Amino acid sequence: MALLRGKAWVFGDNIDTDLIYHGKYLPLTDPREMAKHAMEYVPGMEDFSKRVSPGDFVVAGRNFGSGSSREHAVLCLKYLGVAGVIAESISRIYYRNAINNGFLVLECPNISKKVKTGDELEVDPESGLIRNLSSGEELFAHPLSGLEREIMEKGGLIEHIRSLMEG
């Protein structure tokens, strides 16, 4: 997996699935439509989908993605072009949904305190090394496990299954 570079958008603790993607948009099935509502319920972030640029990172505190099993909460960020989520802890269903969709999620202690919105990050998904190019600081995220990386590298669980079916 290649090195990634992008700007950070920093959020607090307990960014739950209703803040990431509100329940009222659950009937949507087109991920490009979902993308328009990403982070809409985070106070002050109502227009996040217009402000974020492709390749940017969502950085958050603990318990990111807690709550619902809705995959929309992963797809909305992915289809917005967000490069990945780096949080102090990521709730388990969100974590699986992200891996299954080939969307990068990393857990990194203290990241929300060490990075400010607008900082430029360089992320190595393989090793978990995160360099804050704006402050010069280096941070270490927990790397993905073997199986998780395998699914990610295929582009998600569906692609993984496709290769199993063909193989």
Enumerate binding residues for other proteins (CB under 8 A): 14, 16-19, 22-24, 26-29, 41, 43, 62-63, 66-71, 74, 89-93, 96-97, 100-101, 145-148, 151, 156-158, 161-162, 164-165
Closest CA to 117 of 65, 42, 66: 42
Residue 101: CB minimum distance to other proteins, A: 6
Cα→Cα distances 74→95, 110, 121, Å: 9, 22, 21
* 60 vs 115 by CB, closer to other proteins: 60
Measure the CA angle with vertex 68, ends 20 and 160; round to 5°.
90
* 100 vs 134 by CB, closer to other proteins: 100
* 78 vs 132 by CB, closer to other proteins: 78
Residue 42: CB minimum distance to other proteins, A: 9
* 66 vs 112 by CB, closer to other proteins: 66
| Residue recorded with tokens 């990521």 | 90
Q: Give me 128's structure tokens.
A: 């978990």
Residue 93: CB minimum distance to other proteins, A: 6
Residue 27: CB minimum distance to other proteins, A: 4
What is the residue-wise DSSP string for 65-112? T-S---THHHHHHHHHT--EEEES-B-HHHHHHHHHTT-EEEE-TTHH
C-alpha 101/C-alpha 79 separation (Å) is 11
